[in-house]
Chain A
Amino acid sequence: NAGVTQTPKFQVLKTGQSMTLQCAQDMNHNSMYWYRQDPGMGLRLIYYSASEGTTDKGEVPNGYNVSRLNKREFSLRLESAAPSQTSVYFCASSDSGRGNQPQHFGDGTRLSIL
């Protein structure tokens, strides 16, 4: 069972470069989420998509854009990377249409901005 798949697993960028993080889930979930995790800050929601065709800002959306490409895929784009965006990024999905269902996480992308 693949679950939630994120690519790439590691990436190093230079300040000002752009990059898209990819996420795909095979659980037929309708909701998908992007988080960042920094030491001492916990998991913070960047953007989410409650259902195909909708996206909404989370707690820390500045500097990011998202695209819900279809029900399976939800991408996160950094248009002009900054050192402050160095973090571990997690994608998650949930079957929110069935009530109080948990979120399931991918393995993460470790991103360093130099």
Chain B
Amino acid sequence: QKEVEQNSGPLSVPEGAIASLNCTYSDRGSQSFFWYRQYSGKSPELIMFIYSNGDKEDGRFTAQLNKASQYVSLLIRDSQPSDSATYLCAVRNSGYSTLTFGKGTMLLVSP
């Protein structure tokens, strides 16, 4: 059974701080990694994807990937109250088009 692990949180940060969300995965052959944001009562929304080791930046978001350590993270700079949501890490299963999702980390950004 392929596994994706995330701290369930909640992770509480003050407005303007950096939020760091982490994810580990078991499928060593995985090549594609995705971060989704899910507001309460809404559907998951893609915010970042990363395929190569290292950092990928998109606005206030930076995804970091370390395949050797089987670790992927998401940094949110200048956190805003509107960033308060559950963040889902998803890993593409090697050889398939399917994803395995972590259970998500709840982020709370206080004004």
Give chain A's interface residues, CB within 8 Å of chain B. 31, 33, 40-45, 48, 50, 58, 90, 94, 96, 100, 102-108
Count of interface residues, chain B, beta-carbon cutoff 8 Å: 21
The verdict on A102 contacting B101 (CB below 8 Å), with A42-B88, A43-B88 known, is no
B43 touching A105 by the CB < 8 A rule?
Answer: yes
Residues of chain A contacted by B97 (CB below 8 angstroms) = 31, 48, 50, 94, 96
The verdict on A90 contacting B98 (CB below 8 Å), with A100-B31, A102-B34, A102-B49 known, is no
Residues of chain A contacted by B9 (CB below 8 angstroms) = none
Interface residues in B23-43 (C-beta closer than 8 Å to A): 31-32, 34, 42-43
Residues of chain B contacted by A43 (CB below 8 angstroms) = 44, 88, 101
Give A103 Cβ to nearest chain B Cβ, in Å. 6
A103 touching B43 by the CB < 8 A rule?
Answer: no
Give chain B's interface residues, CB within 8 Å of chain A. 31-32, 34, 42-46, 49, 51, 88, 90, 92, 96-99, 101-104
The verdict on A100 contacting B88 (CB below 8 Å), with A42-B103, A43-B44, A43-B101 known, is no
Give A9 Cβ to nearest chain B Cβ, in Å. 11
Q: In the complex, A105→B103 CA distance in Å?
A: 17
Given contacts A41-B103, A48-B97, A90-B43, 4 further A-B contacts (CB under 8 A): A31-B97, A48-B98, A105-B44, A105-B45
Closest 8 CB pairs of A and B: A96-B97, A100-B32, A42-B103, A43-B101, A105-B43, A31-B97, A102-B46, A105-B44
Q: In the complex, A106→B92 CA distance in Å?
A: 19
Residues of chain B contacted by A44 (CB below 8 angstroms) = 101
Give B14 Cβ to nearest chain A Cβ, in Å. 27
